[in-house]
Amino acid sequence: MQLVKSSLIGLVSLFVLTSCGRDAPPGRATVSIPKLVVFITIDEWRGDLPIRFQKHYRHGLKTFTDNSIWFTDAIVDHAVTATGPGHLTLLSGRHHGSMGILANNFYDKALKRTVYCAEDEGAKILGEDEPGGSYKNIEGSSLGDWMKTTRSESKVFSVSGKDRAAILAAGREADGVYWYQWNTGKFITSTYYTEAYPEYIQAFNDSDYPAQYINEKWIKSQPDSFYEAVTQTPDDYLFERDLSRRTADTETDPHLHHPSFPHEIAAGKTGLSKSYYEGFGFMPWLDEITLKLAATIAKEEKLGQDDTPDLLIVSLSAHDVIFHCTGPESHEEAEVEMTLDNYLAQFMTALETNVPKQDILYVLAADHGGMSLPEYLQEKGIDAHRRGVQAKIFRDSLKTAILNKCQTSDSLFLAFQTLDIYWNDVFAEAHGIQKSAADQFIRQEALKQDWIAAVYSREQLDDYTHLDSLGMLVAHSWNTRKGADWVIVQAEYNYLSSLPKGTGHGAPYYYDMHVPWLMMGTGLKPQSIRQKVRTIDIAPTLAEILKVTPPNHLDGKSVLSLVRN
C-alpha cells in the first residue's frame, strides 16, 4: 500500500513554487560549530501549518520562516505517530521500535505487562513518593549523549509540558530534565537526574506562574478578517471539544457545549485546585511558561557562554492539546499560531541577551502531525470516520470468534490492545493450537472491514524484506522481543477514538507524518529544500554540524549535503 500524501502535497508544492530566491544555490554549506543548539518542538504541529500561516507571522515564527533552511517535505518515518515515539526519534537518529519503545503506552510481550514509554521503576518524582521517569529503559542514546562523549563539558537540558517529551528527547546523560506537573502547576524532575532542585527551579515554582492566569481569558488577538481568511470552520463548530469545560455533558449536550472564544479555565472560578492546574495545560499559557523556564535555565546554567557547545531542548505541549480539541482548521489553531509567534520572539530575545545570535543554532520541528476533524473532512468530500466504538466491537468479536474456533480460553492471548494482538505461544503449544490457522482467520475477518487497510504478522515484520511501504512503517514501530504477533492497520482517515468530538493522530498517513523542520543560524543560508527527509535524519545532521561522533547503527543520515551556500 502506498503512502498517501493527500491534498497536503499541493500545499507543499505551492510553497516551493512560490519561494523564489530560497532554492539552494550551488556550493556545499560551511557551518560554524554553534555554542548553543536550541531544539524546539511544537507538539502536533502538522507540516502544512507554517506554510499556511507564513504570510501572517510577524515575530518569532516569521524569523524562522524567513531565515531558515526549511525542509518542506519532512516526515516521521514510522507508523505509531505519537508523542513518545516522535520525541525519541527526533534526536536519536533511530526508529523507535528498535529502541524498545513502541508507543506512549504499550503491552510489552517480553515483560507481559503494559508499560509507559518513559517509566523507571527505580526513580521517584523528586521530593515525592510518586513514580518518576527517565531514559533508563531506552535501548540507545541521543544527540546530547553524543555531545557529552565528544566534549564532556557540554551541558544538556530539556523542558516540556509532558514528561515523555522532555525525557525521550534528552537522552541518558542529560544534566537536567523538567516537565509540568498537571496537578500542582510546578515543573518537576525525577531522582534519576538529581538529588535536589537548583535554587532557580525552586524560585520559578514558588512564583506559581499558572496561578497568575486564574482570572484571565484566552481571547482573539486579530481582526475578524484574519480568521475569515485562514480558518475553514466556524468558531462555534459543533464537532470541536470545549477547551474550558471538558466533561461528558459538554460533549453531548448542545446547551453546555461552548467551543468558541473566549476560553477560560472553568475550574478557576472555585480557586486554585488540581482541576485548575490541569485546565491550565489546555491553554497556550503552558507553552509560554515552558519557554520562560527554558530561558531561565539557559541564563542560570550559562548555556552557550563558553566554547563548548551546549544543548537546550524545549517541547511545547499545549499546541497538541488545542489541536486535539479543535483541529487545524479552527479559530483556535489560527490564534495559537499567532500566540506562539509572539512567545518564540520573546524567548529568542531572552536567549540572545546572554548569547550572541550568531553563536546559536535554532532548530524547529514537530513530533508528529494530526488529522483534521472527521466531520470537516466529510464536508470536503473525504470519506473520514470516527472508528473508536466500531474498533472495540470488532476487536471483541474477533477475539470471541478465534476462541470459539480454537475451542479454548482467554489464556490463548496475552493481550488485545487497540488493534494489536499478542499470542500466548506457551499456552498455544501446550494445547496443540496452530498459530497458522489463527493467522488466516484474523486476516480474513479483518480485511472484511472497509476501514481496515492491512494486517501484518510477527513473521512478516521480523523478515521485512518483502513488506510494502505501509508495512515498513509498521516495522519501524515494532520490536522483535516486545511487539505484537499481529498488527492491524486502519485505512486512511479513520480515527480510532471513541470521543464524539475533537481529533488526534497515531496513523501511518501523511497528515500524521508530515512535520516541519527548520534550522537557522551559524552560517546557514535561508533556503527551501524539496527532497524528502525524515525526522531520524535530524540528529545525524546536527552531529555533523557539531562535529560529534554518533553511533554506527543509526537509521537516519546527515542531510547536510543537501544544504548549499
Q: What is the DSSP string of 23-63?
A: BPPSSB---PPPSEEEEEEETT--TTHHHHHGGG--SHHHH
What are the phi and psi torsion angles at 340 (to 5°)?
Answer: -65, -35
For cell 474550558, name the residue. 244
CB 422 within 8 A of CB 109: yes
Is the whole model's pTM more than 0.85, yes or no? yes
Report the run of H or E that residue 443 belongs to, with start and end: helix 435-446
pLDDT in tens, 313-354: 999 999 999 999 999 999 999 999 999 999 999 999 999 999
Average pLDDT over residues 105-116: 97
CB 178 within 8 A of CB 201: yes
CB 328 within 8 A of CB 514: no
* Res. 28 pLDDT band, cuts 50 70 90: low
Residue 20: its pLDDT value, please?
A: 36
List residues bridging with 42 in a β-sheet. Answer: 316
Residue 267: its pLDDT value, please?
A: 83
Alpha helices in 91-243 (DSSP H): 143-150, 163-170, 199-206, 224-230
pLDDT in tens, 427-453: 999 999 999 989 999 999 999 999 999
* Res. 5 pLDDT band, cuts 50 70 90: very low
C-alpha span between 88 and 106 (Å, rounded)? 15
CB 515 within 8 A of CB 70: no
What are the phi and psi torsion angles at 179 (to 5°)?
Answer: -145, 160
For cell 477547551, name the residue. 243
pLDDT in tens, 369-402: 999 999 999 999 999 999 999 999 999 999 999 9
Of 324, 140, 320, whose CA–CA distance to 246 is shortest? 324
CA angle 333-338-344, nearest 5°? 115
- How many other C-beta atoms lie within 10 A of the C-beta of residue 518? 22
Give, as one character, the DSSP assignment of residue 531.
Answer: S
CATH number, span 8-69+78-94+120-214+269-376+505-562? 3.40.720.10
Give, as one character, the DSSP assignment of residue 550.
Answer: -
Residue 202: its pLDDT value, please?
A: 98
Q: How far is CA 454 from CA 76, 392, 442, 492, in A?
A: 20, 17, 11, 11
Residue 431: its pLDDT value, please?
A: 95
pLDDT in tens, 279-310: 999 999 999 999 999 999 999 999 999 999 99
C-alpha span between 336 and 124 (Å, rounded)? 34
Crossing angle for the helix pair 163-170 and 83-90, nearest 10 degrees?
20
Average pLDDT, the chain: 92
Residue 251: its pLDDT value, please?
A: 53
* Res. 124 pLDDT band, cuts 50 70 90: very high
Average pLDDT over residues 511-518: 98
Percent of the chain with pLDDT over 70: 92
Give, as one character, the DSSP assignment of residue 125.
Answer: B
Q: How far is CA 500 from the centre of its chain?
A: 23
| Amino acid letter for position 266 | A
Q: What residue spans in the chain does CATH classification 3.40.720.10 cover?
A: 8-69+78-94+120-214+269-376+505-562
Q: How far is CA 72 from the centre of its chain?
A: 18
Whether the predicted pLDDT of 250 surpasses 70 = no
Whether the predicted pLDDT of 153 surpasses 80 = yes
Of 544, 365, 497, 475, whose CA–CA distance to 79 is shortest? 475
CATH number, span 388-450+452-490? 3.30.1360.150
Q: What residue spans in the chain does CATH classification 3.30.1360.150 cover?
A: 388-450+452-490
